[in-house]
Structure 1
Amino acid sequence: MLVISPSIAIIAFTSRSIFPDIDPGMALLATTVIMPTAIGGLLLAAAASFIITTGNSYLLSAATNLTYDIYGNYINRDATDKRKLWMTRMFIVVLGVLAFIMISFFPSVLAVQMYAYTVYGASITPAVLAVFFWKRVTVLGGIASMFAGLISMLTWEVALGQPFELNAAVVSVPFAIIVLIVVSLFTQKNNQSQSVKTT
């Protein structure tokens, strides 16, 4: 890492100085044009293998999660290993097609990542942190917070078109936290009153 990481930065920096108007995402690969054939070929092979292995890892990880966490736990608990393997292969194809469709609506992979991190930060992060740092959080509060963060994020980004060019997380995360607190406190009172009635 001490050799490779600085080398990548130096190559990209050099490419930017040679090709001033180049797209930053192409800066590393563009230098293969001016490199010796052997070194440029190695760089292209390394970039191609990095792209392929990253895509394979993401697809396999997501497909395995769908197979074991959803299909195996909720749909077919008696599924054999052969059946699970078949389902994993099917999910890889389905997820690959969905990824292709999704990327057609975004200008770059970075835009997709930003969108995904915004969804994650707005819908899941407040509930997960509350589990560790607030003892009064309830299940309904966490679920309501997730839905509130997701819906407010989609409303801000898609329906309203990101007003003032403000990232959706600035609006949806505080909204998800407020919903988490309010619903948790409200459902906690109900839980306490029910426990008093039962005793």
Structure 2
Amino acid sequence: MRTAIFDLDGTLADTSADLIAAANACFVGRGHAAPLDAVGDALTAFGGGRAMLRLGVQRLGIDDVIIDEEYQTLLDHYDAHIDVHTRLYPGVEAALDRLAADDWVLGVCTNKPEALAETLLKKIGIRDRFTAMLGADTLPVRKPNPEHLFETVRRAGGNVDRTVLMGDTITDRDTARNAGVPIVLVGFGPLGADIVDMQPDAILPHYDDLPDLLDRLIPR
């Protein structure tokens, strides 16, 4: 059975503005100006909470001790405002429906904390499309460790030998390479055309193209 596993942030949905807002709230709460930009820092947002706090600390020239001190505050703020600006990328729902109709097994493997990923997928209305969903803290390991992907496939009821990973970052690329599965990277994320430098097996220009692209990578 063919299996398609998806990253979440930057792959299924553009979550960057809500992530950046959560990080900025930490700095503003300490009396600083908001150092991060929702558009210009989108790539850092997809790197996770600590990456955003680290960038903010560097820009403000303040003690990096707040990275640990504010991390939970960031998560709490994000949890409370998780879908203010977040939107699915165009064509996601139709593509997932077409894949399901073609008997693809679908799952999510994300380095977002599991509870936050569950909340977000439900709020944006696509949780029921996926048989399995594993977050950063579901297992003792996470991407790019291939076991994170392997366990997602197992819980989805799929077959690793017939699996493809959809992502948007070097972490996803490395996960797929470590697991020995094809990697498709989206071409509409913050890296734009530079995504080609990661040498994925394919680049997705729009979700309308996904079913045919996956059929070429893993024929029926």
**Structure of greater Rg:** 1
TM-score by length of 2: 0.26
TM-score by length of 1: 0.28
Name the structure where helix makes up a greater proportion of residues.
Answer: 1
Structure having greater relative contact order (Cα 8 Å, sep ≥ 6): 2
